[in-house]
Amino acid sequence: MAGHFRRKIASKLFQSFSQSGLLPKSQETNSIEKLASLVKVKKISKHHTLESGQFLVNSQHLNNFLKDDSDPNHKLAEQVKDCLFQDTSFKELGITFNGKFFNFTFDPTNITEVILSSVYKEGSKYGFTSHLHQTNDQTEKQTVVIEYSSPNIAKPFHVGHLRSTIIGNFFSNLYEQLGYNVIRLNYLGDWGTQFGLLAAGYHQYGCETKLLADPLHHLFEVYVKVNKDAAQEIDTKRVEEPQSLYNRSREIFQKMEKGEETSLDLWKRFRDLSIKEYQKIYKRLGISFTEIHSESMYSESANQLLQHLRHTGLLQINEEEGRTEFIEIPDRNRNSKVTMCKSDGTTLYLTRDVAAALHRKKEYNFNKIHYVVDNRQNRHFQNLQAVLKTIGEDWATSLESDFHIGFGRIIGMNTRKGKVIFLKDLLDEAQQQMLSKRKETSSSKHVADEMAVADTLGISSILVQDLKERRNFDYTFSWKKCLNFKADSGVFLQYAHARLCSLKQNCAIPLTHSVDAALLKDPAALRLVLHISRYDEVILNSFLSFEPFHVVQYLFQLAHLSNQSLHSLVVKGQVQDVAQARLLLFHSAQQILSSGLRLIGVQPLQSM
């Protein structure tokens, strides 16, 4: 793997710096590892031609690494350059400097040989085992809790939940591949006054047959109607009447919080039926969870927490707001009062989240926790973090900004049925669109299970469109882009992957890793090899910046490069040695494409 070359450069740098006295005391331990992480493979554009394998080190990064705090005025840049250029062993590596980067050049045959045989041997582990990922020397497996998806029962699964599901699944896969113990958690919204309202609405508008046939749509129908009624009540100032919807639903929810069986029965049915529907969709998306928790699980512990906080004096009464209770956040000037209990004594979304966080810490004793939730809840998660600290949870002080992994909105995601997204409708539509597009496209093969292939393609397209930009950006959903077979879409990646698989199946050449790498001298081959060797860097970038798009953009380029090479580097009909070398190259590209697709949550297709 590229690690081999990074390490080689890093140990030479280390030797050179130690001998010339440039290495400060503070950098003596793990230096080679740290230096290796500064070595990058030269990124190549689609049309760039390279004669040899090139690795770069940013000189500013080197200076930062060598900076000696006891001697701040030290003029490092020149010295580093002198040191490296005087060291004759670097001449062998081929070193140049362009004012910003040190550039190390390797013999392409050597690189090709090392990289292709590592991909062959490491298979699906390639890219994840690199020393680049061993950021610390912990020997014990670290645990990370990732909460994602978390839809609400009885309100539609909106695009925020879709993005949370896709992004959360990506990070769970990534952490798992990097050797963490990952708790994938789904936290259903199944509690709160709105459930009182829904129950009241169901008494009026509910229909058993419809509920059983299609629970999500029917509950939503009731939800819309009853919310309309509630809004009318406000307009006509009937809210205060004892039998108003508002009062009835509050009463129902209060009873639910007290655990009254009859009020809970209906809620339980809504909940069970909705969960069953969600499970079907998760299965279709290939997404699973370690645990399904829900807000209602924390109704009791949230009440106990409030009791405890009253005892310790942390909870204060806000006389102005009808006796709600709040916690004061000490280090805030504005918005320092965070409400924890409503005036009628019921808990809030935040209260339940605090109780849930305490439970998670106790249950999993995690090293890290992430909440993958839409940016609209930024404030909520700032409050959650602040309350945890204020009530004396020490672990919460070390939480970083990645506690909440937010993301932007999707604009214009509609299905033919309307503006409100039911995930099932969206997936059905994607599948239908793929079916008809495939009929029009001559290159599509006829496959046995056309429906299943169309479904996978539809899902791939939605996933890729979602992950291909920075997560904080809003993006406009476009069927046209989703369905683009030629560039930068999920179908495009699947198509490139299937082409590679079909080459492997049909070339009638046995795959072996002992090939003559000197036969892969063509610039197209070298470009592909070098791109493959960047995989571990890209994974690390995604991991450190919490940005899936690095991986997706990398895969687009991999697909372009491999499509180009498939044109110029024919396998069939070549002399055996050449054919085998090329086949190993394409096998590696297919392995990485497949690994990257699985990482982003897409099931790679063998043929399409």
The catalytic site residues sit at 155, 158, 161
For residue 340, the minimal CB distance to ligand ARG (Å) is 15
Q: Which residue is nearest to ligand ARG (CB)?
A: 189
Q: How far is the CB of 353 from ligand ARG (least distance, A)?
A: 5
Shortest CB 373 distance to ligand ARG, Å? 4
Candidate ranges 2-10, 146-154, 312-320, 471-479; the one touching ligand ARG (CB under 6 A): 146-154
- Measured in whole angstroms, the distance separating CA 156 from the mean position of its chain's CA atoms is 22
Closest CB 161 distance from ligand ARG, rounded Å:
6
Which residues is 545 bridged to in the sheet? none
Contact status, residue 161 vs residue 373, Cβ threshold 8 Å: no
Report d(CA 161, CA 216) in Å as an integer: 15
Q: Which residue among 150, 177, 383, 542 contacts ligand ARG (CB under 6 A)?
A: 150
Distance, in Å, from the CA atom of 65 to the CA atom of 24, rounded to the nearest integer, reads 9
Q: Which is nearer to ligand ARG, 152 or 347 (CB)?
A: 152
Nearer to ligand ARG, 32 or 372 (CB): 372
Least distance to ligand ARG, CB of residue 376, Å: 8
Backbone angles phi, psi at 50, to 5 degrees: -125, 140
d(CA 361, CA 366): 6
Report residue 46 CA to chain centroid gap: 26
Residue 557 to residue 550: CA distance in whole angstroms: 11
CB of 158 vs ligand ARG, minimal distance in Å: 7
- Tokens 């070390």 sit at which residue? 398
**Largest separation between any pair of C-alpha atoms in the chain:** 91
Stretch that binds ligand ARG, among 78-86, 144-152, 259-267, 454-462 (CB under 6 A): 144-152
The HSE-up count of residue 163 (CA atoms within 13 Å, CB side) is 30
The answer to whether 298 touches 356, Cβ cutoff 8 Å, is yes
Q: How far is the CB of 349 from ligand ARG (least distance, A)?
A: 7
Q: What distance in Å separates the CA atoms of residue 22 and residue 20, rounded to the nearest whole number?
A: 6
Which residues, including other chains, have CB under 8 Å from residue 213's CB and lie 6 or more apart?
none
Number of residues that bind ligand ARG (CB under 6 A): 8
| Rounded distance between C-alpha atoms, residue 324 and residue 311, angstroms | 16
Q: Least distance in Å: CB of 150 to ligand ARG? A: 4
Of 224 and 447, the one with the shorter C-beta distance to ligand ARG is 224
Q: What's the min distance (Å) between Cβ of 186 and ligand ARG?
A: 9
Residue 54 interacts with ligand ARG (CB under 6 A): yes or no: no
Question: Hey, how many other C-beta atoms are within 10 angstroms of the C-beta on 568?
Answer: 10
Rule CB under 6 A: say whether 190 interacts with ligand ARG. no
CA distance 313 to 322: 19
User: By C-beta, is 104 or 253 nearer to ligand ARG?
Assistant: 253
Q: Any residues with CB less than 8 A from the CB of 176 and at least 6 apart, and which? A: 182
User: H-helix or E-strand containing 590?
Assistant: helix 576-599
* Residue 403 or 477 having the CB closest to ligand ARG: 403
298 binds ligand ARG (CB under 6 A): no
Q: Nearer Cβ to ligand ARG, position 150 or 461? A: 150
Binding mask 152-181 for ligand ARG (x = CB under 6 A): x-----------------------------
- Region from 145-153, 237-245, 503-511, 525-533 binding ligand ARG, contact rule CB under 6 A: 145-153
Choices 105-113, 147-155, 204-212, 224-232 (CB under 6 A): range interacting with ligand ARG: 147-155
String of DSSP letters for 95-147 = EEE-SSEEEEEE-HHHHHHHHHHHHHHHGGGTTTSSGGG--S---SPPEEEEE
One character per residue 334-373, x = contact with ligand ARG (rule: CB under 6 A): -------------------x-----------------x-x
Q: Is 187 in the site for ligand ARG (CB under 6 A)?
A: yes
Question: By CB under 6 A, what part of segment 368-407 binds ligand ARG?
Answer: 371, 373
Q: Which of 87, 113, 147, 536 binds ligand ARG (CB under 6 A)?
A: 147
Whole-angstrom distance, CA of residue 495 vs CA of residue 562: 11
- Chain center to CA of 445: 32
Contact 116, 588 (CB under 8 A): yes
Site string for ligand ARG, 224-263 (x = CB under 6 A): ----------------------------------------
- In angstroms, the CA 555 to CA 205 distance is 50
CB closer to ligand ARG out of 257 and 353: 353
DSSP code of residue 344: T
Q: Where does this chain bind ligand ARG (CB under 6 A)?
A: 147, 150, 152, 187, 189, 353, 371, 373
